Amino acid sequence: MGLTADSTGLRAVDRGLILEKQSPRDRIIALAGNPNVGKSTVFNQLTGLHQHTGNWPGKTVANVQGRHTYRGRDYILVDIPGTYSLMAHSAEEEVARNFVCFGKPDGVVVVCDATCLERNLNLVLQILEVTHRVVVCVNLMDEAKKKKIQLDLPLLEKRLGVPVVGVTARSRRGMEELMERVEEVSTPRYLATPCQVAYPAAIEAAVARIQPVVAPLLEGKTDSRWAALRLLEGEKSLLRELDQALPQPVSKDPVVKQAVASSCEVLAKEGIGQQELPDRIVGSLVETAEELCQGVVTRQESRAAALDRKLDLLFTSRKTGIPIMLLLLAGILWLTITGANYPSQLLSDFLFSFQDHLTALFVSLGAPDWLHGLVVLGMYRVLAWVVSVMLPPMAIFFPLFTLLEDFGYLPRVAFNLDRCFQRACACGKQSLTMCMGFGCNAAGVVGCRIIDSPRERLIAILTNSFVPCNGRFPTLITLITIFFTAGLTQPAGSLVSTLMLTGVIVLGVGVTFGVSKLLSHTLLKGVPSSFALELPPYRRPQVGRVIVRSVFDRTLYVLGRAVVIAAPAGMVIWLMANLSVGGESLLTLCSGFLDPLGRVMGLDGVILLAFILGFPANEIVIPIMVMTYLSAGTLNQTENLSQLHQLLTAQGWTWLTALNTILFSLMHWPCSTTCLTIYKETKSVKWTLLAIGIPTAIGMTTCIGTTLIARIFGLA
Amino acid sequence: MKHMLALSELTEGQKGKVFQNNGVGGMRRRLQDIGLIPGTEVKRLQASPLGDPCAYQIRGAVIALRQQDACRILVETL
């Protein structure tokens, strides 16, 4: 259901997973599965939480936990990132693997896609090698029905030897039965003999040799057959985790080492060297999955799949792919701009008229002037500004964006733009992380975990702030509408605004390509690594629910930010404006100090100061500017959006000032939360400083450039 | 008439059967995980607007692969 308040801002920061059993009776259940099979939807339905869901692979990149009570017992459900296999390739897959293999869950629910069951069984089979406490949850049964795919789940259950439940998580169908089976498998005395993958005889013989040597060392903590297979494969990161999970490092045990080495030799003689071994193992898994599905899955020709291909031709073909992409972007922006206008005005009228009532209240209570200033002129006014400017555009933009996301359009964007990223020696999945950046750059940065190559992931992290986030978007819209299109009649005005805003975003994307390329040729040298992206089937979004949920969620998010960040910031600004050193207010002193630099950039000291003070959150940049100008005392009443233009021009703003502010808003340091997230994700001060330095340097250079050009040509 | 091609050489709509996966490192395994092993049938779908990557139908799923990766997969035409 799109980015949610639970998955953006500070909550996007992965704090690691600390599972808390409130009672020893509680059970921990992992939700595993391939990417984009609806794990998070199942999770949300059971826990009542609102994790980010949408139709594209890679939304969940960290473990998230929630609770579900079933028959008087609490189940701690852990939503883990999607993965095609337990052989991890990327950071997010490693998170998934480690939890299933070493997190000691009391049970694992493997969520599968009913329309693509065979491939999903590959992971099921791998997890069955780790634990027998597994429920196979076949989700998207409604989609399968639409595609005329018939599934004989009782037969599959018989073949697999563990419970199989068909569900449609979106409409809660089958959840009760799912929990019933979860209860069954997580009971301590539950026993099952699940289906075992038969590997080629030589591999089975090697496993049989190692298994008895390893078994006593595992102390029942891990399955010995599984451990023997992994020791044979010798994958380093997995063995490191395995050693850590056990009382003694099993892979370093001399007897085990010897058994593994001699088994590898025997295998090599039979033509299965270190290179062929993983191939044979995967081959057996895939073939077993194929056999399991025979008679279980019956497909009939359906129009649904053909429709998907037709839509793909429309959205991704050479002629129509990119024009449609731009049209969709512009369309959403147009609806946002035109739609936000009226409610913004309404909200600002309402909130600012309420300010008079507040003042009256303070006067009648005989409150001192400083208290009135601090609370009403400081806190309340900034809060009112943030809510009226930020809320309407976000409450319109997000539901629309989420509809596209649920429909399955985002992976097509990544597909269309991949060539550009390839030229920049970066990863096409960067488009997906950029899309998340629209909501919140911190969420975008965490999302970069879907990128396998560490080098490409760093590039995506360092450039994510070139996508204007939630907090900057309304700033852009406000400045464009009041400075560039205010004089135009509708609908021309909103069309020009849309074009300009689209231009700003395209510029941000262009800069992202440029900087990615630059990084690939300098600090992060390398060639593009491999890339495989699944283009999932289109799904009809649940329009009503998305809109209600998303509007509600954005409203909460913006209000939350307003209270937590804007209100305290308002207080600080008011204090700075009213505390004076040597006859001048702190605010005037600071902005005066920054003024020369600001002027070179075609801005002024106040604007720069507002960006600096806006470090905690970009939402408050415009309110800070307004407060600062107001405290300078030329106009003492600006309680309405339409008066903003007057206020700013009175302070010497021209179109060039507005343009530079827009450019600098697009390209400057990321907000504090994003910086913190970058540090957490890269664990490096150097990369965090670079993530601040690169956009700042580009923003400053651009502003200085435009100012010079405009002055040389006498345009401003 | 069967003959060998790189996966990337299939034309739009053409089908092939995987003969050999010469992918390296993580990509080799990733392709195997999504079911691309010898014997698997693959159908080439549309290319992206800028020509690369291309979409392929593999075991019922649509997967986008870059030319540089697809050229490492040998297929027999069907």
Q: Which residues pair with B43 in a beta bridge?
A: B15, B57
Which residue is closest to B47 within chain A, CA to CA?
A317
Q: Residue A554 pLDDT more than 60?
A: yes
How far apart, in whole angstroms, are the C-alpha atoms of residue A35 and residue A183? Answer: 25
Confidence of residue A7 (pLDDT cuts 50, 70, 90): low
**How far off is chain B from A535, nearest CA to CA, in Å?**
5
Tokens at residue A64, please?
A: 């998230």
Answer whether B62 touches A (CB < 8 Å): yes
pLDDT of residue A634: 41
Confidence of residue A490 (pLDDT cuts 50, 70, 90): confident
Q: For the residues A203-222, what does the mean pLDDT come to?
A: 90
- Across the range A413-441, mean pLDDT stands at 93
Which 8-state DSSP code applies to residue A114?
Answer: G
* Residue-wise pLDDT tens digits, A113-128: 999 999 999 999 999 9
pLDDT of residue A563: 81
| Position A2 pLDDT exceeds 60 | no
Whether the per-residue pLDDT at B49 is higher than 80: the answer is yes
pLDDT for B12-48, tens place per residue? 999 999 999 888 877 888 888 888 999 999 999 999 9
Of A316, A422, A531, the CB nearest to B49: A316
A537: helix, coil or strand? coil
**Higher pLDDT pick, A284 / A50:** A284
3-state secondary structure B17-57: EEEEECCCHHHHHHHHHCCCCCCCEEEEEEECCCCCCEEEE
Nearest chain B alpha carbon to A280: B37
Q: Which region among A127-131, A138-142, A440-444 has the lowest average model confidence (pLDDT)?
A: A440-444
Q: What is the pLDDT of residue A645?
A: 85
C-beta atoms of A318 and B47 within 8 A: yes
Rounded mean pLDDT, A343-364: 88
Structure tokens at A419: 């060539």
Q: Hey, of A85, A282, A285, A539, which one would you mutate to test binding to chain B, going by the most B CBs within 10 A of its CB?
A: A282
User: Which two tokens mark B36?
Assistant: 């691309």
Q: Above 50 in pLDDT, residue A364?
A: yes
Contacting residues for A211 by C-beta, under 8 A, at least 6 apart: A224, A225, A228
For the ranges A6-10, A396-400, A608-612, the one whose mean pLDDT is highest? A608-612
Do A414 and A52 form a contact (C-beta atoms < 8 A)? no
In angstroms, the CA A518 to CA A516 distance is 5
Q: Do B69 and A531 touch (CB under 8 A)?
A: yes
In this predicted structure, the answer to whether residue A635 has a pLDDT above a threshold of 50 is no
Q: Does B53 touch chain A (CB under 8 A)?
A: yes
Q: Which of A316, A422, A534 sits opposite B61 (nearest CB)?
A: A534
Contact A588, A355 (CB under 8 A): no
Length in residues, chain B: 78
Stretch A578-591: mean pLDDT, rounded? 86
In single-letter form, the type of residue at position A289 comes to A
Nearest to A298, CA basis, from A139, A118, A174: A118
- Region for A295 from its dihedrals, namely left if φ exceeds 0, alpha if ψ lies in -120 to 50, beta otherwise: left
Instruction: Tell me how far apart the alpha carbons of residues A448 and A426 are, in angstroms, rounded to a whole number.
Output: 12
Option in B48, B65, B69 nearest A316 (CB) = B48
Contact B65 A418 (CB under 8 A): no
Q: Do B68 and A528 touch (CB under 8 A)?
A: yes
Q: State which residue of chain B sits closest to A317, comparing Cα positions.
A: B49
Residue A488, pLDDT above cutoff 60: yes
Q: Which residue has the tokens 């010469």?
A: B22
- Interatomic CA distance for residues A333 and A336, integer angstroms: 5
Residue B17 has φ and ψ, to the nearest 5°, of: -115, 130
pLDDT given for residue A654 in this prediction? 92
Place of tokens 């697009």: A666
**Which of A305, A276, A696 has the alpha carbon at shortest distance from A535?**
A305
The CA angle A344-A349-A350, to the nearest 5 degrees, is: 100
Q: Determine the average pLDDT of the residues in A325-331.
A: 95
A535·B64 Cβ contact <8 A: yes
B60 touching chain A per CB within 8 A? yes
pLDDT of residue A460: 96
Given this structure, which CATH class describes domain B4-77? mainly beta
d(CA A116, CA A502): 37
**What was the pLDDT predicted at A583?**
81
User: How many Å lie between the alpha carbon of A431 and the closest alpha carbon of chain B?
Assistant: 14
Interchain proximity A420–B34, CB inside 8 Å? no
Q: What is the pLDDT of residue A428?
A: 92
| HEC secondary structure over A627-655 | HHHHHHCCCCCCCCCHHHHHHHHHCCCCH
**Chain A residues touching B25 at Cβ < 8 A:** 530
Specify the pLDDT at position B64: 95
Average pLDDT, chain A: 89
Per-residue pLDDT band for B65 (boundaries 50, 70, 90) equals very high
Residue range A188-202, pLDDT digits in tens: 999 999 999 999 999
Handedness of CA B15, B18, B19, B22 (dihedral sign): positive
Structure confidence at residue A6 (pLDDT)? 61
CA distance linking residue B29 with residue B24, whole number of Å: 8
For A186, A593, A600, A643, the CA distances from A596, given in Å and listed in that order, are 68, 7, 6, 27
Enumerate the β-bridge partners of residue B41. Answer: B17
pLDDT at A455: 93
Q: How many CB pairs under 8 A join A and B?
A: 130
First vs last Cα of chain A: how many Å apart? 46
CB atoms < 10 A from the CB of A619, how many? 29
Query: Distance between CA atoms of A264 and A105, rounded to whole angstroms?
Result: 32
Band (pLDDT 50/70/90 cuts) for residue B60 is: confident
Whether the per-residue pLDDT at A15 is higher than 60: the answer is no
Sketch the domain layout of chain B as residue ranges.
Answer: 4-77
**Does the pLDDT at position A637 exceed 80?**
no
Give the span between the Cα atoms of A631 and A622, in whole angstroms.
Answer: 14
Q: Measuring CA to CA, which residue among A34, A85, A427 is closest to residue B32? A: A85
Nearest to A263 by CA among A278, A252, A274, A253: A274
- List domains and CATH numbers for chain A: 5-186 (3.40.50.300), 201-271 (no CATH), 321-527+542-712 (no CATH)
Long-range contacts of A495-499 (CB under 8 A, 24+ apart): A495/A334, A497/A337, A498/A330, A498/A333, A498/A334, A498/A337, A499/A330
Tokens of A45: 């339905």
Q: How confident is the model at residue A665 (pLDDT cuts 50, 70, 90)?
A: very high
At A324, the pLDDT band (50, 70, 90 cuts) reads: very high
Residue A87 phi, psi dihedral angles, 5° rounding: -85, 95
Kindly state the average pLDDT of the residues A335-342. 87
Whether B71 has its CB under 8 Å from any CB of chain A: the answer is: no
Tokens of A679: 């540090």
The whole-angstrom separation of Cα A461 and Cα A475 is 23
CA angle A520, A705, A671 (to 5 degrees): 60
Question: Which one is predicted more confidently, A265 or B78?
Answer: A265
Closest Cβ opposite residue A84 in set B25, B34, B52 = B34
- Does B26 lie at the interface with A, CB-CB under 8 angstroms? yes
The lowest-confidence range among A553-567, A659-673, A691-705 is A553-567
Of how many residues is chain A composed? 716
Residue A514 CA to chain centroid, in angstroms? 23
Distance CA A575, CA A595 (A): 21
pLDDT value, residue A8: 61
Percentages helix, strand, coil for chain A (3-state, rounded to 5) are 65, 10, 25
List the structure tokens of A153: 């789940």
Contact of B27 with chain A, judged by CB distance below 8 Å, is answered with yes
Distance of CA A158 to the CA centre of its chain: 38
pLDDT, position A13: 57
- Cβ-nearest to B33 among A122, A318, A411: A122
- Report CA torsion sign: A217, A219, A224, A227: negative
ipTM of the complex as predicted: 0.95
**In chain B, which residues have their Cβ closer than 8 Å to the Cβ of A531?**
53, 64-66, 69
**pLDDT tens readout for residues A54-85:** 777 777 777 788 999 999 999 999 998 889 99
Amino acid at A355: Q
Residue A608 pLDDT: 95
Residues A408-425 have a mean pLDDT of 94
